[in-house]
């Protein structure tokens, strides 16, 4: 879909549809007011008759509004004027996109950026609308014989801003929003693919494709033999029960002017299927464990987005591909593994495999002398119990990094909430036979998993995102969400800004 910004009055636009808001109860937004005046009270007459109240979720499509050049006017309910939140704004945009797409308007001019959303500027409103539009128009129908085509799909949206001064911010919002949406869409595609096709080798191939598409990216793939040489015994143990080889993709993005600038390292859990191994999972919803690679998918998506944006920073993205299956060669409960760090791990549950894969990749990350390391993983069912499906878990041993991620979350709307990482939880991981066990005593499962990882992150600043509840949706809208690509790109945009500001201050 194509996006544009423009500044002009609503009655002069020649478009398939003009989109304007109506507040509750039956109150016109400034643009709706303008249309009402020019059409001799056409809109206010409709409101008086009770055709639309202005509640969030309501829409009314009008044709041939007097003295208006556009074919249609779409009135969109915006709720109470003083209470418009970011979440409601998103709902309004969502409703708008679906209505336009289903009623034959292939292009539209959108005046909803004039709404006052608490604490948000024009840049935010336009960027959010771009991301929301692309998010809602996404379909995954690669395996459908009969694809449901929309007869006249929405192809172009023009955002109207009230002053010409805002055009630059609007254009930047479209650039950023479009790139983030591309990253989100790639992450969704990778995650929605079935696990018989999207195996670790497939993830590696997709990571390699980025290198072809962007000159700023070089991708290196480590196979099991290379991992063996590196003594990544914990990672390798998890893949042993599967016929599919494990592959670790290392996607190197160099955008910094100073090529020696320390990279930010992103590590994604890439379990292309997690059956639990010998500690086999129960059958209900096991198909959803194809989504256990959403961390890796989000890293690949984020790398694409930042390459699109040419951000002036260095980033290393790692996708830790692996499959956890029961089999004659599987690792077992009771096994003791020697991780790449040299620390030994007693396996008490082969279904706590994500941390076993990640710990070796975290050790490997030391060689980049990173500015910081962020891992992203569908790590614990406990995180869904704690935070549900709208908020990801954030844990960190470095307060400034945790704050930067919380801020990026607030800005992007890709929500996180910090959970504790206190040393009091460490005792839970004690093992009578090895340096640690791979599961803890009951309670605080999400924190305990993070505590396990923290034993491998002593050499750098580190944060962990548990996306078990947010990476995909169940039910009628089943599918990957592409989260936390928006959060990660926002964090990297902020990093890029601080570098630019620093340099221009010199």
Residues labelled catalytic: 281, 355
Q: In 3-state terms, what secondary structure has residue 71?
A: coil
Tokens read off for 347:
């396996």
**Site size with Mn ion, rule: CB under 5 A:** 3
Q: Which is nearer to Zn ion, 224 or 353 (CB)?
A: 353
Tokens read off for 457:
């992150």
Cis ω for the linkage preceding 25 (within 30 of 0): yes
- Regarding 351 and contact with Mn ion (CB under 5 A), the answer is yes
* Contact of 29 with 115, CB cutoff 8 Å: yes
Identify which range of 32-40, 157-165, 285-293, 405-413 contacts Zn ion by CB under 5 A: 285-293
CA-to-CA distance for 476 and 146, rounded, in angstroms?
19
- Regarding 469 and contact with Zn ion (CB under 5 A), the answer is no
Binding site for ligand BES (CB under 6 A): 274, 292, 349, 351-354, 378-382, 439, 445, 468
Q: Which is nearer to ligand BES, 45 or 385 (CB)?
A: 385
Q: Which of 274, 323, 375, 414 binds Zn ion (CB under 5 A)?
A: 274
- Regarding 274 and contact with Mn ion (CB under 5 A), the answer is yes
How far are the Cα atoms of 2, 317, 334, 336, 360 from residue 199, in angstroms, in the given order? Answer: 33, 18, 27, 26, 20
- Regarding 354 and contact with Zn ion (CB under 5 A), the answer is yes
Site for Mn ion in 56-85 (CB under 5 A): none
Q: Which is nearer to Zn ion, 128 or 323 (CB)?
A: 323
- Regarding 466 and contact with Zn ion (CB under 5 A), the answer is no
Q: Which is nearer to Mn ion, 11 or 353 (CB)?
A: 353
- Interaction mask 159-198, Mn ion, x per CB under 5 A: ----------------------------------------
**In the complex, minimum distance from the CB of residue 351 to Mn ion, in angstroms, rounded to a whole number:** 4
- Regarding 276 and contact with Zn ion (CB under 5 A), the answer is no
Q: Which is nearer to Zn ion, 135 or 292 (CB)?
A: 292
**In the complex, minimum distance from the CB of residue 227 to Mn ion, in angstroms, rounded to a whole number:** 20
Q: With CA atoms as reference, report the closest residue to 355 among 366, 370, 343, 367.
A: 343
Tokens read off for 234:
């914990």
SS (H, E, C) 419-487: CCCCHHHHHHHCCCCCCEECCCCCCCHHHHHHHHHHCCCCCCCEEEEECCCCCEECHHHCEECCCCHHH
Site for Mn ion in 118-137 (CB under 5 A): none
Question: Strand 344-346 to strand 416-418: parallel, antiparallel, or no bridges (unpaired)?
Answer: unpaired
Neighbouring C-beta atoms of residue 211, cutoff 10 Å: 16
Q: Which residues bind Mn ion (CB under 5 A)?
A: 274, 351, 353
Binding residues for Zn ion (CB under 5 A) = 271, 274, 292, 354
């Amino acid at each position: 879909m194509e996006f544009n910004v423009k500044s002009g009055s609503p009655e002069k636009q020649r478009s398939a549809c003009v989109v304007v808001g109506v507040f509750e109860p039956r109150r016109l937004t400034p643009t709706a007011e303008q249309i009402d005046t020019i059409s001799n009270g056409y809109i206010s007459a409709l409101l008086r008759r009770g055709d639309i109240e202005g509640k969030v979720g309501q829409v009314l499509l009008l044709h041939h509004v007097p003295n208006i050049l556009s074919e249609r006017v779409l009135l969109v309910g915006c709720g109470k004027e003083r209470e418009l939140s970011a979440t409601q704004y998103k709902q309004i945009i969502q409703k708008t996109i679906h209505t336009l797409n289903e009623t034959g308007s292939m292009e539209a001019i959108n005046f909803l950026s004039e709404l006052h959303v608490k604490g948000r500027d024009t840049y935010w409103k336009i960027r959010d609308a771009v991301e929301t539009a692309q998010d809602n128009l996404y379909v995954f129908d690669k395996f459908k014989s009969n694809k449901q085509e929309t007869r006249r799909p929405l192809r172009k949206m023009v955002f109207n801003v009230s002053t010409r001064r805002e055009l630059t911010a609007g254009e930047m919002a479209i650039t950023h929003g479009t790139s983030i949406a591309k990253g989100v869409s790639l992450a969704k595609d990778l995650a929605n693919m079935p696990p018989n096709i999207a195996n670790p080798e497939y993830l590696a191939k997709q990571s390699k494709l980025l290198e072809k598409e962007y000159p700023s990216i070089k991708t290196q793939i480590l196979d099991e033999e290379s991992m063996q040489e590196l003594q990544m015994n914990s990672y390798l143990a998890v893949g042993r029960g599967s016929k599919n080889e494990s592959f670790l993709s290392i996607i190197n993005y160099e955008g910094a002017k100073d090529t020696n600038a320390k990279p930010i390292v992103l590590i994604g859990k890439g379990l292309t299927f997690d059956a639990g191994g010998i500690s086999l999972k129960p059958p209900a919803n096991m198909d959803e464990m194809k989504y256990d690679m959403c961390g890796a998918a989000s890293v690949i998506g984020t790398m694409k987005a930042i390459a699109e944006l040419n951000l002036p920073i260095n980033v290393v993205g790692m996708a830790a591909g692996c499959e956890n299956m029961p089999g004659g060669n599987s690792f077992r409960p009771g096994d003791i593994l020697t991780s790449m760090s040299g620390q030994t791990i007693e396996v008490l549950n082969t279904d706590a495999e994500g941390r076993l894969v990640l710990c070796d990749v975290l050790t490997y990350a030391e060689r980049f002398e990173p500015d910081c390391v962020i891992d992203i993983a569908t790590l614990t069912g406990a995180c869904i119990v704690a935070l549900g499906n709208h908020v990801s878990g954030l844990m960190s041993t470095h307060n400034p990094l945790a704050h930067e991620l919380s801020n990026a979350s607030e800005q992007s709307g890709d929500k996180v909430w910090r959970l504790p990482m206190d040393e009091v939880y460490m005792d839970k991981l004690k093992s009578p036979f090895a340096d640690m066990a791979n599961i803890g005593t009951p309670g605080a499962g999400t924190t305990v998993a993070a505590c396990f990882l923290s034993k491998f992150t002593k050499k750098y600043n580190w944060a962990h995102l548990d996306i078990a509840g947010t990476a995909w949706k169940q039910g009628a809208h089943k599918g990957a969400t592409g989260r936390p690509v928006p959060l990660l790109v926002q964090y990297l945009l902020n990093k890029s800004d601080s570098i630019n500001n620093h340099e221009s201050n010199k």
